[in-house]
Copies of this chain bind each other. A is one copy, B any other.
């Protein structure tokens, strides 16, 4: 309805380019991890691509900071955005940018709360599993006594970790790998919570629907009563007019 602020217009226009940048980043991040025998020029090219996507996110953050009305508030409420840009050496966390893509998809999905949550959870779970697998493989592969040494192993380990099964046939031994694992476990706990909450809200909606029906009946009853009182009033007015012809009807 209202005219969009310059901040909102920037955010809307930057959405598609940033989504593309996030996908490109994932590819540039994934390929050298998945194929360790790449020719040097390819590795260097992918590294440049990775830096370009990093620059895109940096420019976006700077522009939004400049256009924001309350800059201190913006910085406080976008700490994660800053962390993803300002810590270029902490590679695994940079990969979390793929979440941007998810939120874009999410915004375009169906309008019901349940539908949007389902989309977010499915996309987010797949994204987190993919990124975690890449990050943990990158961190673990070279380590002595490492148990996670192929992408298949990494993906399998991610799934057993996120569902909190944790067989222990595979587990990270490096500091970075364990940080990734901790993040994955937190996501797993959140996933369990969301799935459970969805079932609970589905069960309880039935009860709530019944209540809503009773409340609607109450509203209808009160409306009927009001009409009755209104009728009564006009009858009295008529009566007043009948018995007091000398006073003009107010």
Contact = CB atoms under 8 A, between A and B. Distances in A.
Interface string A174-200: 010010011001101111111111111
Number of copies: 4
A10 B191 CA distance: 39
Contact of A192 (B167, B193, B238, B239): B193
Contact of A247 (B163, B181, B200, B242): B242
Closest 5 CB pairs of A and B: A165-B166, A168-B168, A197-B199, A197-B200, A167-B168
A40 interface: no
Contact of A211 (B164, B199, B201, B215): B215
Interface residues on A, range: 35 or more
Interface of A: 113, 117, 152, 156, 159-161, 163-169, 171, 175, 178, 181-182, 185-186, 188-208, 210-212, 214-219, 221-226, 228-233, 235-240, 242-244, 247
Given A159-B182, A242-B243, A198 B203 contact: yes
Contacts of A201: 200, 203-204, 207
A237 B235 contact: yes
A156 B178 contact: yes
